[in-house]
Amino acid sequence: MNFEPKILGILCKWCSYAGADLCGTSRKKYPPNIRIVRVMCSGRVEPTFILKAFEKGADGVLICGCHPGDCHYAEGNYKTVRRFPLLKKMLSQLGIEDERVRLEWVSASEGERFASIVSEMTEQIRRLGPFSRNNGGGNG
């Protein structure tokens, strides 16, 4: 089937967004399924953003931040490191597959890496099929 996943990307301004920019300037191609939103730091990402994305029809969410230790704000991404696993644990409890939500470290120099992450994730989600609030039954 030719299902085109919608993937939300939330990227930190300093490393990952710049990495995605580099990806562009060096004309690396990756699937257009990802839509990028910029935040100052991956530590700004509220779990609400990810849930909101699914509510609004995203099929996957990719969070990118500076590598641990490289955070522009010294430790912002470590807060992400704390929140993300707990959020993932809850999402899996709610039946959301692991592949749909990813956290990756992408530095400003890793345009290549960004492209491959996006391509890989797009394929994985294409295989999973669309996200839907499936209640497994017929009614309500």
Partner 1 sequence: MSEPRIGVYVCHCGSNIAGIVDVEEVTKFAQGLEGVIVARDYKFMCSDPGQEIIKKDIQELGLNRIVVASCSPTLHEATFRRVCQEAGINPYLFEMANIREHCSWVTEDKEKATEKAKALVSAAVRRVIYQEPLETREVPVNPNTLVVGGGIAGVQAALKIADSGHKVYLVERSPSIGGHMAQLDKTFPTLDCSACILTPKMSLVGSHPYIELMTYSEVEEVSGYVGSFKVKIRKKARYVDEDKCTGCGICQTKCPFKVDSEFEVGMGKRKAIYTPFPQAVPNIPVIDREHCAYFLKGTCRACEKFCEVKAIDFEQVDKVVEIEVGAIIVATGFNLFDPTPIYQYGYKRLDNVITSLEFERLVNSAGPTGGNIVLKDGSTPRSIAIIHCVGSRDKNYHEYCSNVCCMYSLKFSHLIKEKTDAKIYQLYIDMRCFGKGYEEFYDRLSEEGVYFIRGKVSEVTDQITSEEGKLTILAEDTLLDSVIKLPVDMVILSCGLEPQLDADKVTRLFNISRSADGFFLERHPKLDPVATMNDGIFVAGCCQGPKDIPHAVAQASAAAAEALAMISRGKVEIEAATAVVNEELCSGCRICNALCPYNAIDFDEEKKVSRINEAVCKGCGVCVAACPSSAITGKHFTTKQIVAEIEGVLV
Partner 2 sequence: MAKLKVALYWAASCGGCEIAQLEIGEKILKLAEAADIVFWPVAIDVKYKDIEAVPDQSIDACLFNGGIRNSEQEHMANLLRKKSKIMIAYGACAYEGGIPGLANMFNRQTIFDRVYSETPSTDNNDKIVPQTNYQVPEGELTLPEFYDTVRTLRQTVDVDYIIPGCPPEEKTTWLALEALIEGKLPPKGSVITHNVKAVCDECPRKRDVKKVKKFYRTFEIISDPEICLLEQGLLCAGIATRGGCGAPCPQTNMPCTGCYGPVEGVIDQGANFLSAVASVIESNDPEEIQRIIDDIHDPVGTFYRYSLPDSLLRRARIK
Secondary structure (3-state) at 85 = helix
Give the binding range for partner 2 (CB under 8 A) out of 6-14, 26-34, 71-79, 107-115.
71-79
d(CA 59, CA 41): 23
The dihedral of CA 9, 13, 14, 20: what is its sign? positive
User: Which phi and psi (to 5°) does residue 60 adopt?
Assistant: -165, 160
Residue nearer to partner 1 on the CB measure, 29 or 89: 29
Question: Of all helices (H) and strands (E), which one includes residue 112?
Answer: helix 111-128
139 binds, among partner 2, partner 1, none (CB under 5 to 8 A by kind): partner 2
Which listed residue (15, 16, 41, 103) binds partner 1 by CB under 8 A? 41
Interacting residues with partner 2 (CB under 8 A): 46-48, 51-52, 54-55, 68, 75, 78-79, 81-83, 85-87, 89-90, 93-96, 132-140
